Homo-oligomer: A and B are copies of this chain.
Amino acid sequence: MNPELEIIGYLGPEGTYSEHAALKFAEKYKITKFKDFPTIPHVLQAVEHGEITLGIVPVENSIEGTVNITLDMLAHELSLRILGEIVIDIKHCLISKAKDLSKIHTIYSHPQALAQCRLFLQNHLTQACYLNCNSTAEAALLVKEGQEGLAAICSVWAAEKYQVDIICENISDYSSNQTRFLVVGKNDFCSNKNRQKTSLCVALAKNRPGGLYDILAEFIPDQIDLSKIESRPAKKELGEYIFFIDCLADLEIEYKHVLNRLKQKCKLVKILGTYNRIEVYNQQDGER
């Protein structure tokens, strides 16, 4: 990899958790060029069209689950590969120009952030209405530019970036809140061939009792651990699914025989990427 040629795209504007993940990743690989995009599809399409070389997109949150658009586009629309993953600790806070909670009438945030703080909002801000934004940082920006009755759920980092006061810290309903991001690109960015993890999607030839069981059976002889399995609609009719599987083994090299057996049983097997396991970063670390 030549760091000078790499450009990382992320879900903007400045101050998103995605930007935080992009900075952490760039630091490690000495990449210095960034570009922000308004939505996840914009990031992914920019990589697909060669406008940027790498994209960082959220794929899964420990409370709200999968970011569907990311998985669906990788499976159905794009020819990108997953090259790595990063996990960021999520710590939401409530920011506003208002001096106390009773003055707040409207709360902006990304729908996942609103969902992650639902019980807090129900208990402390029953009078307010909620409005969805494309990102937590966009919400912070709206509060910075708006009137006193507005509030946003965002990171401490975004609060500092947009210079709006934090009214409540750590407002997530669950103590542990992490988001996993995927790094995607067209070509591998480092030459390390010792991958620990494979993401793939598979579809059965037809729905029948025991179909999924037969697929999982292929991972048993080699004792391969599945770190995630998730069904998503095949987008044809209700009840037809494809399965997204993350497993802790390299199915393209070391365990290629498993992949070959899967191909015999399934009508679709698409490798989304083989890559190294998780790197976890705390939001409070580093270049806040």
The chain A residues found within 8 Å of chain B, CB to CB, are 41, 60-65, 68-69, 87, 111, 115, 118, 122, 131-132, 174, 176, 178, 180, 207-210, 212-213, 216-217, 219-220, 223-233, 235-241
- Asked whether, in the complex, the Cβ of B224 is within 8 Å of the Cβ of A209, the reply is yes
A209 touches B219 (CB 8 A): yes
CB pair B212 A229 closer than 8 Å: yes
Q: How far is the CB of A279 from chain B (nearest CB, A)?
A: 13
Partner of A64, one of B68, B174, B220: B68
Closest B residue by C-beta to A111: B111
Partner of A180 from B111, B176, B213, B238 at Cβ < 8 Å: B238
The answer, among B60, B131, B174, B231, for a CB contact under 8 Å with A229, is B231
Residues of B within 8 A of A68 (CB): 64-65, 115
Residues of B within 8 A of A220 (CB): 209-210, 213
Knowing A180-B238, A213-B220, A220-B213 are in contact, say whether A233-B115 is a contact too (CB < 8 A): no
The answer to whether B217 touches A213, judged by C-beta atoms less than 8 angstroms apart, is yes
Structural contact, B176 and A236, CB atoms closer than 8 A: yes
Q: How far is the CA of A132 from the CA of B115 in the complex (A)?
A: 14
25 pairs across A/B with beta carbons < 8 Å?
A41-B122, A60-B233, A61-B233, A62-B235, A62-B237, A62-B240, A63-B235, A64-B68, A64-B233, A65-B232, A68-B115, A69-B115, A87-B238, A131-B132, A176-B236, A176-B237, A176-B238, A178-B238, A210-B216, A210-B223, A212-B216, A212-B229, A216-B216, A227-B239, A231-B231
Collect the chain B residues with CB atoms within 8 Å of residue A212's CB: 216, 226, 229
Residue among A61, A230, A241 with most chain B CB within 10 A: A230
Q: Report the Cα distance A118→B45, complex, angstroms.
A: 13
Closest chain B residue, CB of each to CB of A61: B233
- In the complex the two chains form, is A132's CB within 8 Å of B111's CB? yes
Specify which chain B residues have a CB less than 8 angstroms from the CB of A63 in the assembled complex: 233, 235
Known contacts A60-B238, A176-B237; A230 and B228 CB within 8 A of each other = no
Residues of chain B within 8 A of A208, CB atoms compared: 225
**In the complex, what residues of B have CB within 8 A of residue A180's CB?**
238
Residues of B within 8 A of A131 (CB): 132
CA distance in complex: A68, B219 (Å): 28
**B209:A225 contact, CB within 8 angstroms:** yes
Measured CB to CB, the closest approach of chain B to A152, in angstroms, equals 15
Residue from A213, A217, A236 whose CB has the most chain B CB atoms within 10 Å = A213
Which B-chain residue is minimally distant from A231 (CB atoms)?
B230
Docked Cα-Cα span, A258 to B223, in Å, equals 25
